[in-house]
Structure formats: structure tokens, C-alpha cells
Amino acid sequence: MSHSISHAAVIVDGLAGASTSTVFDLDAAESSALVIGDGFPGATVNYHPGPAFTLLQQTRITEIGGFLGTFNCDQPNPCLTVNPFSVDIRPDLNGSPNPDPASSLGSFVLTPDSSVMQVRYLSAAPNIVLSAGTYYGIFFRQNQEGGILLQTYFGTPTYEAGAVTIGVLGYNNSDNTLFESRTGTYNAAVRVLGDPVPEPSSLSLLGIGFLMTPVLYRKYRLH
């Protein structure tokens, strides 16, 4: 589920207790995941999921990340290079519970990772200040390389991500036109962190409080 915040650093947490240093080996066990980009060679569509999050006040987003991995980079050709993931911050679509495909508030590159068939925690530090509202951190992959967002791992130990709200954008590969914008609840290993930012009016009141303190103190001392 998506979380609202007022005074908390954690906005969305679907990691279900997994350490961000955990590595899941896709060659060693089966897994289930949400596809990012092309699902397989010859695919006619590409999908881009990411966490939805609702802010109750102006907030600085300090981290967006997830357990992500590469499983297809132009197979059957070898993976000579693996392009990084990025995350686009999108507002909702005119108040509807879906990501806006035409508006990006910023694109941020995630932690570089050249491994293939392994899932690691990758993240970006946007440090972008957003007003109260609903947003989506949509994961993309350069050159339509295949990627996954982990849901379940059936190795040892087994792992299942927490249930969160995920927004999805779908595009046609032939002309990159949008064919789908939707939101749903999925088990997905994602995390969003942020810190509330005081509104200007709050800062003004805080300043008045500081100015009044020495006046009251001096008055007290005169008695």
C-alpha cells in the first residue's frame, strides 16, 4: 500500500525487512517480478512500473529505490555493457489515481550495477522538494534493456516483498506511443524516503518565536 506522511522519513516501504545489501541470484532459484522495459526479445510493448506515494505536506524526496536486476540485454547477444536504471518522478494524471505519461518532474539515475541475473538494491537520491499530492517514481531502462522489480524469491531463504501501490506506464515498441497508464496493488520491493520541509508561513512563525524569547527572558529577570 502507499503511505502518507507528516513527520516520518519512510514514505513507502515494500522491502519487508530485507537488508539493502542483500543479493538475490536469479540463476540459483526461481523468482517472480514486475518487468521493466522489454520483457523478452521481440516483445511489442514495454512496461515501466514504480511506487506511488502520497504526501500530506511539502517534502524533500531523499531516496527512491528497489531490488532491481537485469535479465535481458539484447539476447542472444552477450551483455558487453549494462545500462543503468533511472527513475522518473511523475505527478498523478489530472487528479486520477494514475501516473501522468506526459509530465516528468525530474529523471534520476540509480546506482550503477553491471551484474546480470542478480537482483540488488539500487537507488537514486533526487533531493527534490514536492508539494502535497500524489506522485509516482517510475523506473525506466535505457535502450529498452530488460529489467525486473523483484516480488518473490524462491531460493534460500525465501523472500516476498511487501504490498504497495504501483503505477505502471505501458508503451508500444513500434512508435513508443502510450497504450496504458494504470495503478494497482502489488508485492514489490521498493522504498521511498523523504523529509518534511516547513512551509514559509511555518518558518515565519518559528522566527517570531525566536525573537520573542530574549524579550520575555529580560522581562522575567527584571522582576
The CA distance from 101 to 91, in Å, is 9
Note the pLDDT of residue 7.
Answer: 46
| Band (187; pLDDT cuts 50, 70, 90) | very high
| Residue 43: strand pairing partners | none
In order, the DSSP letters of 44-100 are SEEEEEEEEEEESS-EEEEEEEEEEEEEESSTTS--S--PPEEEEEEEEETTEEEE-
112 vs 184, more confident? 184
User: Which band of pLDDT confidence, cut at 50, 70 and 90, is reported for residue 39?
Assistant: low
Question: pTM of the predicted model, to two decimals?
Answer: 0.83
Residue 5 pLDDT > 50, yes or no? no
In this prediction, residue 146 carries a pLDDT of: 76
Mean pLDDT, residues 6-26 taken together:
89
- Cα separation, 175 vs 44, whole angstroms: 10
Q: pLDDT by residue (tens digit) across 40-64?
A: 666 788 899 999 999 999 999 999 9
**What is the predicted pLDDT for the residue at 222?**
40
What average pLDDT is seen over the chain?
Answer: 84
More confident residue, 130 or 96: 130
Least confident interval from 32-46, 133-147, 200-214: 200-214
Which residues lie closer than 8 Å to 103 by C-beta, 6 or more apart? 90, 91
Tens digit of each residue's pLDDT (9 = 90 or more) over 142-171: 766 778 999 999 999 999 999 999 999 999
Q: Taking residues 164-186, what's their average pLDDT?
A: 92
